[in-house]
Chain A
Amino acid sequence: MKALTVSKAVTALMLAGLVLLPLYSQMSGNIFILTLFTRIIILALAAASLNLIMGFGGMMSFGHAAYLGIGGYAVGMLAQEGVGSGFIQFPVALAASALYALVIGALSLRTRGVYFIMITLAFAQMAYYVASGLARYGGDDGLTVYKRSDFSGLIDLSNRTQFYYLCLACLFGVIFLIWRIVNSRFGLVVQGLRSNEQRMQAIGFPAKRYQLVCFVISGTMCGLAGALLANNTDFVSPAVMYWTRSGDLMVMVILGGMGTLFGPIMGAVVFLLLEEFLSQITEYWALIMGPLLLLIVLFGRGGIMGMLGRAGRG
């Protein structure tokens, strides 16, 4: 019982901190922290979506950043073509991500293990090069989004605080959905497949069908993160799809704790804060960051969530 309370207490503190952050920002006049945390929340959303397939579903996708790009380009390209309404941009971003996930998933799920990792990576790199080739939409240089998605007065994305809360609401909404999914019939099947695919087939579950649907749900969620990210940076470029970004998302999930509900948020917060502060101290920050992450992954089985659990027990 005590083990639960330690990780629960830390999680609750973190969530409360996220909710109250704009207040602090306003009182202290520190705008930078609000911008930083908006980015953290968006990437936490992406990490949470990756955790659904990686942590709960056992599908090690190494191409998850592709959805950040697809969601982002959906917003950017529509804006460029004069469609500024968020009511159109966001559904298109989600639909495009879902479609990409459906095609890539159907092909990738024919493979297992290392091959699955490599093929998802290969498809994401393909998406990266396709985006680099879009001359009309900036190609290599990326695409500036001159106007944020317009939700006709319902919510103003150019207002920092409103945008922050929109992102936070999306994150909480996605976590809530994942919580429901993971405990549903569908979620139990997907986790069963992670645990023992042969057994699940033998009791009558066609593996691929369930994994593909899970893959699509995850991709769609990450597409939402992409659409938010483009609004946050007012810019989208092929770089958001690069494989290192996919790697970052994986690290966030593993760091926070795979297959836990709030682990990815924890992972994103710690990872991005570390990156921020270490890079202020030294330009060789990656030299500190790398070994640090390695240590946590090697010795802190179950990531931060796992360590908190053990701290409570021991």
Chain B
Amino acid sequence: MAEPLLRVEKLVRRFGGIVATDNVSLDVAAGELHAIIGPNGAGKTTLISQLTGHLEPHSGSVSLAGRDITYLPAYRRCALGLARSFQITSLLLDFTAADNVALAAQAHAGTSFRFFADARKERSLRDAAHAALDRVGLAHRADVLVSKLSHGERRQIELAVALASKPKLLLLDEPMAGLGVTESQGMVKLLQELRKEVSIVLVEHDMPAVFALADRISVLVYGRVIASGDPAAIRANEDVKRAYLGDQHVVTHHG
């Protein structure tokens, strides 16, 4: 088998006495949509942060297309083709939607140490921004300040920003968070389209969405991967039922 696009090996991260990431290993093949699920506090965001470079692991390694990126800063990983969306929307609020996306394109289009020419008049950057906005269905909102956009629209901009950097691997941290039913459905549809073009690691709470989208699912509980496999296998897995889906089941019945 070819080298996986993303390989995580024996990753460990502690916070004081708590092991938030406990010997996590997983592979993401090129073209795959790999979902990571787990109950609250399972260490999903901690894991993602180590993949994006916002947090350093205590041991273990992360490699992208065969290259060790364990200790590379976030901006270098991005240059290698790793893009992310944030769980809590993180955009430039006082910039327009188009500016937000164009900046992501600019980061991958030569040097930004250009001091004189008007960057908003660079055709290639504007075109790339509009293409990415169009991709998420927000082309008509290009010139609106992000602070004036709805939460759902901001989630879509997050995605457009990630796309504009033409990534090899997209890390999506709960793209459905806070979306209404219709908006969620739209997002699932969009991800279904995107997965044809780019490999995706998806962290998500919305179970129907995860099972509809994922090629493979890894289940994280107390920082540990307790199961990894295709949706059918995960659904049938007894450990997973007990540790995660079952818990929810119990909770819904008693609550």
Contact = CB atoms under 8 A, between A and B. Distances in A.
Asked if chains A and B come from one complex, the reply is yes
B161 interface: yes
A202 B84 contact: yes
B114 A185 contact: yes
B22 interface: no
Nearest to B107: A204
B78 interface: yes
Contact of A192 (B79, B92, B115, B122): B92
Contacts of A137: none
By DSSP majority rule, is chain A's interface helix, strand, loop, or mixed?
Answer: helix
Interface stretch (B7-15, B56-64, B98-106): B98-106
A205 B104 CA distance: 9
Contact of A189 (B79, B83, B112): B112
Interface in A186-202: 186-189, 191-192, 195-196, 198-202
Contacts of B113: 185-186, 213
B95 A180 contact: no
B74 A180 contact: no
A204 B78 contact: yes
A210 interface: yes
Contacts of B181: none
A184 interface: yes
A188 to B, nearest CB: 5
A199 B106 contact: no
B165 A183 contact: no
Contact of B79 (A181, A196, A204): A204
B90 interface: yes
Top 10 nearest A-B pairs (CB, nearest first) are A204-B78, A204-B107, A195-B92, A185-B119, A203-B104, A185-B114, A185-B112, A201-B74, A199-B90, A206-B75
Interface of B: 52, 54, 73-75, 78-79, 83-84, 86, 90-95, 99, 103-104, 106-108, 111-120, 122, 161, 165
29 contacts: A180-B118, A183-B118, A184-B115, A184-B119, A185-B112, A185-B114, A185-B119, A186-B113, A187-B115, A188-B106, A189-B112, A195-B93, A195-B95, A196-B91, A196-B92, A196-B93, A198-B54, A199-B91, A200-B92, A201-B74, A202-B75, A202-B78, A202-B83, A202-B90, A203-B78, A203-B104, A204-B79, A204-B165, A205-B107
Given A180-B115, A184-B116, A185-B106, 15 more contacts: A183-B118, A185-B112, A185-B117, A186-B112, A189-B106, A195-B93, A199-B90, A201-B73, A201-B74, A202-B74, A203-B104, A204-B75, A204-B78, A204-B108, A204-B165
